């Protein structure tokens, strides 16, 4: 049995029955749709983290957006990171305060904090040193390598935070790990989708650690999809990165978007087959499919119709209304995808 320090569980006991728990429970139980909505806010905050500090780290490592200077991108994305962090602290607090004993008696929640606090401290140090001097991290090879080590550690810590956040609900999978099992099939005839649920692979995923693992990877990949798209959409709306041509941003981020989307699709299919028939009767899942199709259609319209004339507005201060509309719809539709995804588990 995994244990937590007594002082940590004591915090949960002190919060239990407090006005903080009463307020959080009231909101979670009485505001229509509040749990999935606040969970969506939390995941969108993770997407903003992916689109800010993670992409900055990838730039430092030489893996993304090479056209942008580290100094400029640091100054531009840090406010987004701090806003996303504040949003996630507030949204997460509703669940922590609502069920303090569940969280403060859960070692995975402690692991999440153990990764989150140094990740924030590392970001603070990097940001503080960046503001001391222009191009601080590029002035010497020693500083450059220090920045790369910090970036690599930052990415690892953020992934650990996201992973722990998903595994909080799967503590029993850690206490009784099971990575394989003998699938059961009694030979009966089923409808096609029920038959899919009875595939050997479906049963193994559903009953073992593979399900929370796939869900963890799915959430991180989906957050990266939205985080990378966020850059281009905000540029289309004239709200960020206005000094850079839209074509440059699109070219340097598109492979990250499609790579993350491919991972999210594969892991999503892995989870889908475990409850295929149930998902197809779930209005939230069907809504997610519709929103994904609309988001894809909007992206296709932008790339194959509007983008053909990119030379006319690539670096323009005034972006055409149809282009801005495509950016706004993209933000709206992908947010809807996230919301529908969280609703799936709240509809039975």
Q: Are 120 and 26 in contact (CB under 8 A)?
A: no
Which percentage of the chain shows pLDDT scores above 70?
Answer: 99
Contact in structure between 305 and 245 (CB atoms under 8 Å):
no
Q: Where among 158, 176, 194 does a domain terminate? A: 176
Question: Rounded distance, CA 323 to CA 319, Å?
Answer: 7
Final residue in a domain of this structure, among 176, 209, 225: 176
Boundaries of domain holding 47: 1-176
Residues 191 and 170 in one domain: no
Angle at alpha carbon of residue 165, lines to 94 and 17, rounded to 5°: 30
Residues 6+ apart with CB under 8 A from 152: 57, 61
Residue 67 has pLDDT above 70, yes or no: yes
Distance CA 231, CA 201 (A): 37
Where is the domain boundary, 115, 148, 176?
A: 176
The per-residue pLDDT for 97 is 96
The DSSP code for 198 is T
Instruction: State pLDDT tens for residues 197-254.
Output: 989 999 999 999 999 999 999 999 999 999 999 999 999 998 888 888 999 999 999 9
Do 135 and 191 lie in one domain? The reply is: no
- Tell me: do 93 and 167 sit in the same domain: yes
Do 12 and 49 have their domain in common?
yes
Residues 157, 279, single domain; the answer is: no
Place of tokens 């001097």: 133
The pLDDT-based confidence of 315 (bands split at 50, 70, 90) is: confident
- Structurally, the chain folds into a number of domains equal to 2
Write out pLDDT tens, residues 295-305: 999 999 999 99
* Pair 276, 292 in one domain: yes
Q: Could you tell me if 157 and 193 lie in one domain?
A: no
- Residue 47 and residue 171 in one domain: yes
């Amino acid at each position: 049995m995994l244990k937590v320090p007594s002082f940590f569980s004591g915090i949960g006991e002190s919060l239990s029955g407090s006005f903080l728990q009463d307020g959080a429970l009231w909101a979670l139980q009485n505001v229509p749709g509040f749990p999935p909505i606040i969970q969506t806010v939390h995941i969108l905050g993770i997407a903003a983290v992916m689109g800010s500090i993670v992409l900055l780290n990838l730039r430092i490592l030489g893996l993304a957006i090479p056209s942008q200077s580290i100094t400029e991108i640091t100054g531009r994305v840090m406010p987004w990171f701090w806003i996303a962090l504040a949003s996630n602290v507030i949204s997460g607090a509703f669940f922590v305060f609502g069920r303090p004993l569940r969280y403060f008696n859960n070692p995975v929640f402690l692991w999440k904090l153990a990764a989150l606090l140094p990740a924030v401290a590392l970001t603070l140090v990097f940001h503080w040193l960046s503001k001391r001097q222009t191009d601080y991290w590029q002035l010497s090879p020693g500083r450059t390598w220090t920045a790369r080590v910090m970036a690599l550690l930052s990415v690892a810590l953020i992934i650990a935070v996201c992973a722990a956040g998903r595994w909080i609900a799967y503590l029993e999978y850690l206490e009784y790990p099971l990575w394989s099992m003998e699938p059961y099939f009694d030979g009966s005839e089923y409808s096609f989708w029920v038959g899919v649920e009875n595939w050997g692979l479906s049963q193994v995923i559903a009953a073992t650690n593979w399900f929370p693992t796939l869900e963890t990877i799915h959430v991180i990949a989906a957050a990266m999809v939205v985080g990378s798209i966020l850059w281009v959409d905000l540029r289309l709306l004239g709200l960020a990165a206005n000094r850079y041509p839209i074509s440059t941003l699109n070219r340097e981020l598109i492979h990250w978007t499609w790579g993350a989307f491919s991972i999210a699709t594969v892991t999503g299919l892995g989870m889908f087959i475990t409850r295929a028939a149930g998902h197809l009767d779930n209005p939230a899942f069907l809504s997610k499919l519709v929103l994904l199709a609309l988001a894809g259609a909007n992206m296709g319209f932008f790339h194959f119709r509007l983008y053909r004339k990119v030379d006319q507005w690539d670096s323009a201060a005034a972006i055409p209304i149809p282009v801005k509309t495509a950016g706004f719809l993209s933000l709206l539709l992908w947010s809807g995808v996230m919301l529908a995804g969280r609703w799936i588990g709240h509809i039975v």
